[in-house]
Amino acid sequence: MTVPSLAFLGFTALVVVLLHLWRDARWRRGVLLAANLAFLATFSLDPRAWAPFAGLLAFGYLGVRMLQADRGALRRAFPPLCVGLILVYIWLKRYTIIPDSLLLQHPYVVVGLSYVFFRVLHLVIDAHDGTLPGKIDPVSYLNFSLNFASLVSGPIQRYQDYHRMERDPPSLGVISAGRAIERIVVGFCKVAVLSVLLHAVQTEAWGNMVHAVPLLPRVGWGAIVAAAYPLYLYANFSGYTDFVIGAARFTGIMLPENFDRPFTAENFINFWSRWHITLSSWLKTYVYSPSLMALARRFPSRRVEPWLAVLAFFVTFFLVGVWHGRTSAFIVFGILQGGGVAGNKLYQIEMARRLGRTRYRALCANTAYRAFARGLTFAWFTFTLFWFWSNWQQMGVYAHRLGGTGLALVSIVVLLGATALLHGVELVRRYGAMLVLDGDPLFASRYVRTVWCTALLIVSVSVTTLLNLPAPDIVYRAF
Amino acid sequence: MSTAVQEPARGQVAERLPRRDYVILPLLSLLTVLVLLAGAEVASRIAFVQHEKDACMMADPVLGTRFRPNCTSDVKAAEGPWVTNHYNACGFRSPQPCGAKPAGSVRVAVLGSSIAQGYLVPYQQTFAARAAAQLTQACHTQVQFQNLASIGYVWGRLADRVDAAIDLHPDAAVIAVVPFDLQQSEYQPNQPARAQQHSPGALKTVESLLENSRAVVAAQHFLFRQPGPYVRLYLQYGDRADFLRPPFSQAWQQRLSDFDHLMAGIAAKFRAAGIPVTLVFVPERAQAALLSAHHAPSGVNPWAFGQEIGAIAHRNGIGYVDMSEAMSRIPDAANLYYPVDGHLSGQGNKFLARLVAQQLQRDVPALTHCGMSMARGDASAGRS
C-alpha cells in the first residue's frame, strides 16, 4: 500500500472504527496487531518473501528478552547481539560490501526494514541498560516495531513513548482531530503537489542545462538543478511525515516530529537537529553520546574534550550519511555530512577561542551574519545532496557541462540566492507573526487555518486529478 | 476569545470549541471552495479565451447553415489560436475566387462539416490549404481547393450541396466524414430544443453551469491531454461511443445505412459530371488514441467503423482514405486533436493533408504525373 494515499486513509479509517468498537486495552492491542500485519500483507502475501524480515524481528525479540532476563551470563551477550543485528541488517539491505554469493537469491520484502532495525536495536540497547518500562511482550514488540503508520519511512519512535499510548491512548478532542486532519492535508499537498512540481522543475532544468550553450544560462539551470533537490526532498519527506503523524493521531498514537523548519538553521549542527530529527536523535543517543563518553574516559583531559566532540560528531553523522544508501556515493555523502558537522564544531571552537565567547555570541546574533550562515548551511546541504540523488555518471555530466568557472558560479548563485531568499522568508515569518487576531497570531487562528487547509485540499485534489498522477513515491522509502 | 489552535497537553481536559465555530468553520470551508472555484473560472476565462461563434455564419433553410459571401470573421477555440476566416464571393472558405477555373489549374471541391472546413484552425494550416500547397509544388500546376464545408451542417442534406460543387467544375471532390457526422444527420431543424421542452430544474442549472464553465474546459484540457482517462470517459458515452463496439447497435446500423444511401446519390451525381470523388474518414479522438495504443478494451474495436465506411465507399465506386491506418503507425495520434473540443488541430490537419494529397494523385488524372512520394505513410507528418 502506498503512503500517502487515499487507500491508506481508508485503511486507517477502518482501523479507527475497529479501535472504537470496544474500550479495552487487549482489544486495542489486538486490533493494532491485526492492522499492522494486514498492512504488511499489502506488500506481499508470499511467506518466503517475509522470512528474512521475520527472522530479523525474531532475532531482535529473543535478544531483548535475553537481556531483560537479568542474568549475568546472558547480559554478556549484549555486544555480540548488537553486532549481529547490525550485520544481519547490512546483509538484508544488500550493502555493496557484501559479496553477491552471500546474499539471499530469492526476492524478499525490505519495506521499512531500516526503520524496524532502528527500533529493534533501540529495544536491545535499552533492555541492556534497563530503561524499558517492564518486560516486553510479543504483541507490544510487534506493534511497536511494525506500527503501520510509521513502518514505511518512520518517524522512529522510542518504545517508552509508544508503550504508554498503546494501552492508554491520548484523548482525541475536536481540536486534536482538526489538527490531525490539517497535518494530513498539508502532508498530502506537500507530497502530491509541491514535491511533484519541484521534481518536474529539477528534471526540466537538468535537460535545459545539458542542452544550453552559453555559460550563463547553463549556470542558471545548473543552480536550479542543485537547489531544487533539497526543497523537493523536504516537501516529499516532511509531507509524508505530516501525513502519517496526522493519520496515526486518529489511532491514538502520537508519532514524534521529524522536521522543524530545517532551512532556518544557521549552522550545520543545528540543521541536523531540525532535519530527520528522529534519525539524528537516535544516533546522538546511541552513537554520539556513548562514543563521546568512551573517548572522554580514554582521554580524560579538558583540553582535548572539544576535539573529542568533533570526532564523535564526525563518526555519528558519517553513519547518518552512510545509512542512506548502499553504494560508494553514499560513503562520500557520509563523509560530507560528518565533515560538515565536525567542521562546524571546529569552527565554533576556533571562533570562540579567537573572539572570546561573548564576542562570538554577539557575532552569531548579527542579522547579516545569521542570514549568510543560513544561506551557507543550505548551500552546503545542497552540495552534499549531489551524492544522494545522482550517480557518478550524472555528476560527471554536471561537472563537464559547467566546467570549473560554471561550478564556481553555481556555488555563488546558490549561496547568495539562498541567503537572500531564506532571509526573506524569515522576515515574512517575523512580520507575519505580528498580525494578530483576538490576541493570537493571525496564522495560528483556527479560522485562517480552516481556510488554508480547505484551499490546500482543493488544490491537491484538483492537481492530482487533472494531472492524473500516479501515487507519489516517497524518497525515504528506499532507505 | 483566543482563536489559536493548540492541542491540549496530555492529561489536560480537552479544549472545546465555542459553539458558533461548529457553524462558522464549515461555512468558512464552503466559502473557500466557492471563492477558489470563482477564481479558477476567472483565471480560466483569461487563459482560455473562447469565441467559437462565427459572425459570418447564417442559417440556411436548405443546408442548415452557410457563410455570408465576402465575409471575414475571427473565431477562437479555448484550446487553439485566434483564427481569421475569410469567405469568398460564394461563401466558401477559400482565398481563391469561386468563379471560372483559371486555365491550366486544378480545382478540388471539399464537402463536409467542421473537420472538412478546418474549423478553429488558421486557414494556412487546414488540410485543404496544405494539400493544395503540396500538390501545387509537386505537380508544378496551380491546385486550388474550394471549401464548401461548414460546421453545423445538416449532414443528411449534403446531397443538396453537390450541385454547387459541380457548378465549380472541379477536377475532383473530397468529402471528409467523422463518426459524429452520422449522428448529426438525424438532426431535425424544426424540432424545438430539448432544453425548451422542460423547465430547467436545479440539476439542469448545475449541468448548464458546468457546460458553460471555462474552468471545466481548462480542467478537461489538462485531464484529456492524456489519452488514457479521455478514452475511459469517452467509452462511457453510450450511443455516441457505440460506433466503437461492433457488431454495431441498431441505431448505428441505421446511420450507416442512411450514409450508404446518401453516398450512392452523391457518387451518382459526381460520376455523371465526370468528377472523381474521394471519401476521407477521420477517426474521433478517442478512436485515434486507441489506434495509437494498439490495445482496446474488450468489445471495443477502433478499426471497425472505418472499415464499414470504406465498404460504403467501395460499393459506390468512391476513392477512400482512412486515417486510421496512418494513425496506428504513430504513438501519439490523440495529440492531433484539440483535447476537449475534439476537432483536428493544425498538426492533425497537416497529417490529413498528406494523405489527401497522395490519394488525389492516385484518383485525379490531372495530378497523376506528379512526383510526390506515394510510399511514405506519412507518420512523420503527425509529429511536431
CATH number of the structural domain spanning residue B127: 3.40.50.1110
Closest CA to A148 of A272, A31, A319, A301: A31
Q: Looking at CA atoms only, how far is residue A429 from chain B in angstroms? A: 16
Report the run of H or E that residue A400 belongs to, with start and end: helix A392-432
Q: Which of A449, A458, A467 sits opposite B36 (nearest CB)?
A: A458
Secondary structure letter of residue A94 according to DSSP: T
**Residue A470: per-residue pLDDT:** 64
Q: Longest C-alpha distance within chain A, in Å? A: 72
In this prediction, residue B381 has a pLDDT band, given cuts at 50, 70 and 90, of very low
Q: Is B203 inside any structural domain?
A: no
Partners of B1 on chain A (C-beta within 8 Å) are 438
| C-alpha cell read off for B62 | 436548405
- Concatenate the DSSP letters of all residues of A220-236 into one string: HHHHHHHHHHHHHHHHH
**Residue A469: per-residue pLDDT:** 63
Cβ pair B14:A176 closer than 8 A: yes
**Residue B377: per-residue pLDDT:** 39
**Residue A305: per-residue pLDDT:** 87
Q: Looking at CA atoms only, how far is residue B89 from chain A in angstroms? A: 45
For A442, the closest chain B residue by CA position comes to: B4
A168 touches chain B (CB under 8 A): no
In this prediction, residue B379 has a pLDDT band, given cuts at 50, 70 and 90, of very low
A439 touches chain B (CB under 8 A): yes
Q: Is B279 inside any structural domain?
A: yes
Phi, psi (5° rounding) for residue B71?
Answer: -120, 145
A443 touches chain B (CB under 8 A): no
Cell 527500533: give the residue.
Answer: A119
pTM (2 decimals)? 0.77
Interval A241-289: pLDDT, tens: 999 999 999 999 999 999 999 999 999 999 999 999 999 999 999 999 9
What integer best gives the mean pLDDT of chain A? 91
Interval B319-332: pLDDT, tens: 999 999 999 999 88
| C-alpha cell read off for A80 | 555480540
Q: Which of A171, A438, A459 sits opposite B14 (nearest CB)?
A: A171
Secondary structure letter of residue A444 according to DSSP: G
Partners of A175 on chain B (C-beta within 8 Å) are 5-8, 14-15, 17
Mean pLDDT of A25-40: 94
Size of interface A-B (CB pairs under 8 A): 77
Interval B171-213: pLDDT, tens: 999 999 999 888 876 544 444 434 344 455 666 777 777 778 8
Q: Looking at CA atoms only, how far is residue A323 from chain B in angstroms? A: 34
Report the run of H or E that residue B57 belongs to, with start and end: strand B57-60
Cβ pair A437:B3 closer than 8 A: yes
Q: Looking at CA atoms only, how far is residue A467 from chain B in angstroms? A: 6
For A180, the closest chain B residue by CA position comes to: B7
3-state SS assignment for residue B175: strand
- Concatenate the DSSP letters of all residues of B339-379 into one string: TTT-SB-HHHHHHHHHHHHHHHHHH-GGGTT----SS---G
Phi, psi (5° rounding) for residue B43?
Answer: -60, -40
User: Can you say whether the dihedral through the CA atoms of A382, A388, A389, A394 is positive or negative?
Assistant: positive
**Residue B382: per-residue pLDDT:** 35
Lowest mean pLDDT, pick from A2-6, A345-349, A360-364, B269-273: A2-6
User: Domain residues of chain A, as ranges?
Assistant: 6-167, 174-259+437-478, 262-432
Domain count, chain B: 1
**Residue B383: per-residue pLDDT:** 34
Q: Is B230 inside any structural domain?
A: yes
In this prediction, residue B156 has a pLDDT band, given cuts at 50, 70 and 90, of low
Cβ pair B28:A447 closer than 8 A: yes
Q: Is B2 inside any structural domain?
A: no
Interval B109-133: pLDDT, tens: 999 888 998 988 999 999 999 999 9
In this prediction, residue A344 has a pLDDT band, given cuts at 50, 70 and 90, of very high
Interval A187-222: pLDDT, tens: 999 999 999 889 989 998 998 998 877 999 999 999
Higher-pLDDT residue of A54 and B225 is A54
Q: Is B86 inside any structural domain?
A: yes
Q: Which of A173, A444, A450 sits opposite B14 (nearest CB)?
A: A173
A475 pLDDT above the threshold of 80 = no
Q: Are the beta carbons of A319 and A283 closer than 8 angstroms? A: yes
Q: Is B11 inside any structural domain?
A: no
Cβ pair B229:A445 closer than 8 A: no
User: Can you say whether the dihedral through the CA atoms of B96, B102, B106, B112 is positive or negative?
Assistant: positive
**Residue B295: per-residue pLDDT:** 86
Q: Are the beta carbons of A43 and A109 closer than 8 angstroms? A: yes
Q: Which range of residues forms the domain containing residue B108?
A: 57-189+216-382
Q: First vs last Cα of chain A: how many Å apart?
A: 17
Mean pLDDT of A321-350: 92
Cell 494523385: give the residue.
Answer: B361
**Residue A478: per-residue pLDDT:** 66
Partners of A197 on chain B (C-beta within 8 Å) are none
Closest CA to B70 of B53, B94, B52, B54: B94
Partners of A455 on chain B (C-beta within 8 Å) are 32, 36
Residues contacting A213, CB < 8 A, separation 6+? none
A147 pLDDT above the threshold of 90 = yes
User: Can you say whether the dihedral through the CA atoms of A197, A198, A199, A200 is positive or negative?
Assistant: positive
In this prediction, residue A473 has a pLDDT band, given cuts at 50, 70 and 90, of confident
A12 pLDDT above the threshold of 50 = yes
Neighbours of A347 (CB within 10 A): 13
A131 touches chain B (CB under 8 A): no
Interval B337-378: pLDDT, tens: 999 889 999 999 999 999 999 999 988 888 887 765 544 434
Cβ pair A445:B4 closer than 8 A: yes
**Residue B375: per-residue pLDDT:** 40
A177 touches chain B (CB under 8 A): no
A179 touches chain B (CB under 8 A): yes
Mean pLDDT of B79-93: 91
Secondary structure letter of residue B51 according to DSSP: B
Q: Is B206 inside any structural domain?
A: no
B6 pLDDT above the threshold of 70 = no
Q: Report CA A12 to chain centroid distance, whole Å.
A: 22
In this prediction, residue B66 has a pLDDT band, given cuts at 50, 70 and 90, of confident
Q: Is B293 inside any structural domain?
A: yes
B14 pLDDT above the threshold of 60 = no
A126 pLDDT above the threshold of 80 = yes
Neighbours of B219 (CB within 10 A): 17
Q: Is B246 exposed, middle or buried (0-12, 13-18, 19+ CB in 10 A)?
A: middle
Neighbours of A74 (CB within 10 A): 15
